[in-house]
Amino acid sequence: MSHESFIAAVALIGIVIIISSLLSGAVERTGLPQVAIFLLVGVVLGPGGLDLIRFTLESPALQVITTLGLVLVLFSDAIGIDVGEVRQQRRLATLVLGPGTLLPAALIGVAAWWLLDLSPAAAILLGAALASTDPVLLRTLIRHQNLPASAKLALRLESGMNDVILLPIVVLAMLALGAGVTSPGEIGRHAVGLFLLGPALGAGAGWVAITLLDQIRRRVGVRRDYESLYALGVAFTAYAAAEAVGGSGFLAAFAAGLVIAALDVELCDCFLDYGEASAEMFLLLTFVAFGTGLIWTGLPLAADWHILVFAVLALSVRTAVLMPVLHGSGLDARSRWLIGLFGPRGLSSLLLILLPVFAGVPGADHLFAVTCLVVLFSVVVHGAGIAIYLRRVAPAAVASPATSTPAAPQAFAPQAEASSPHAQPAASSSPASSDEPVPERITLDEFRALQRYGEPVIVADVRTERSYRDDPDIAMGAIRMPPDEAVRLAREKRLDQNATLVLYCA
């Protein structure tokens, strides 16, 4: 890589981080498709704009970015799985990840074989790639507080886990198309590496890594900032270990994250949040790279009516399948419609279809161009649909208080922090250094005394989203205020600035 290319790559990383940070609040509030913004950033930086960056399918940098992005996506999705929640909703999970994923893949494959005149293996490969729903486009929707819990769970499971269902299909189709394989024995060895070796090494790496972290943290302690970095180390180590012996590094990364989630070791939220944030940065970086020119190669294909009809079918077949599949799930009609309508195709599909491109599979370039066209349509259709839905439900979210369920005050009093001249700090049994501020805590008796005296008291549930998902009940009268949105929500709800603010965070 030349010095100029290196500087351009560093500048690209910096631009992505700056823009994504500055626009994060606007994206959360308006529901604007963040993907579309970064595709336009790619246009500005690419040959059609400032001509600072050029990416081709042969660029080593593109392969590195996309590989690391897919590794982090699979790993962060796996560690974000609530195993207990999946067990409770196993019927819904089975429907979404079974027929809800495989039937669309099969139908898209049939459409590709019929309309695009592809070989069966190439059609299956394209169908599997385009059946993957995109976690980046769905992230704003899934985080919205007014999305029904059942719809949120189904969309989170689908976008987080269907990649690992579809990835083996993509790899097996690649083998059938002759991606460096010349004999049945070689195909067998690849299959063993895919289904056994990769997941086994990933699971082992995850178990060893999280056990070491837990033991060392108990004995000597681990700094929170390094614990957050630890997530990246586990993901990359699992991938490298599997790839070094011929296994699937992607399935190894997913298996490592799944083992961590299943072990239920107490992890700081920084471990999980940093992994998700890093994956999102890599994904946005990849969208910028595609936006410089690669993704637009799909637009000329729209002139072919066969491909145009195929793109429409690829985007609509999921809805047609999920509506009857979910009919017997026990979900209400609104949740079924939301799950069925919002299934965007995005970077996950592009990353999956790039695997045969990087492996040198004949005709993979054409499959990539077709996928690009479908993804562009999806960014417009699904991105606009999500934005419209969020703008419609936003006024209701602001006007109505957070849904509360009765809970005893003891549930939050031991961990509550207060800001009031009337509240005295409770005695603490744990020592604190003199140079570190100790949060002012309020006891149950002090809380009741404030209420008896008629003092205005606001109780806010400021647990992180993951902690809230584990137990969505909040104390009676409390306001749900996620920490990332606390300031904005306080302004929108016009909370009394002179009231005592009691924060519930555990």
Going residue by residue through the chain (506 aa), what tens digit of pLDDT does each one get?
Answer: 556 556 666 776 777 778 777 776 666 666 667 777 888 888 888 888 877 777 888 888 788 888 887 888 788 878 877 777 777 788 888 889 899 999 999 999 999 999 999 999 999 999 999 999 887 778 778 877 778 878 888 888 888 788 888 988 998 888 888 755 555 666 666 667 677 888 899 999 999 988 898 888 888 877 776 777 787 888 899 999 888 887 788 889 889 988 888 886 666 566 666 666 777 777 778 888 888 888 998 999 999 999 999 999 999 999 999 989 888 777 888 888 988 888 888 888 988 999 899 888 888 999 999 999 999 999 899 888 888 887 777 554 444 444 443 333 333 333 444 444 443 433 333 344 444 444 567 777 777 777 777 778 888 877 766 666 666 667 777 788 776 566 667 777 777 777 777 777 65
For 182-331, where are the alpha helices, taking DSSP H only?
A: 184-192, 198-219, 224-244, 249-263, 269-289, 305-325
Tokens of 46: 């690419």
Helix (H), strand (E), coil (C) string for 326-368: HHHHCCCHHHHHHHHHCCCCCHHHHHHHHHHHHCCCCCHHHHH
For each of the domains in the chain, give its residue range(s) and CATH number, in order of start: 8-399 (1.20.1530.20), 409-504 (no CATH)
Within 13 A of 379's CA, how many CA atoms are on the CB side?
24
CB neighbours of residue 492 within 10 Å: 14
The pLDDT value given to residue 409: 37
The pLDDT value given to residue 75: 85
Give the length of the chain. 506
- Cα torsion 58, 63, 66, 68 to 10°: value is 180
The pLDDT value given to residue 399: 45
Cα–Cα distance measured from residue 486 to residue 490, given in angstroms and rounded to the nearest whole number: 6
Cα–Cα distance measured from residue 36 to residue 137, given in angstroms and rounded to the nearest whole number: 9
Number of H helices, E strands in the chain: 21, 4
The pLDDT value given to residue 347: 81
Cα–Cα distance measured from residue 242 to residue 15, given in angstroms and rounded to the nearest whole number: 33
Give the CA distances from residue 485 to residues 97, 144, 346, in Å, rounded to whole numbers and listed in that order. Answer: 31, 11, 26
426: burial class by Cβ within 10 Å (0-12, 13-18, 19+)? middle
The pLDDT value given to residue 290: 86
CB neighbours of residue 80 within 10 Å: 19
Is this model's pTM higher than 0.85 or not?
A: no
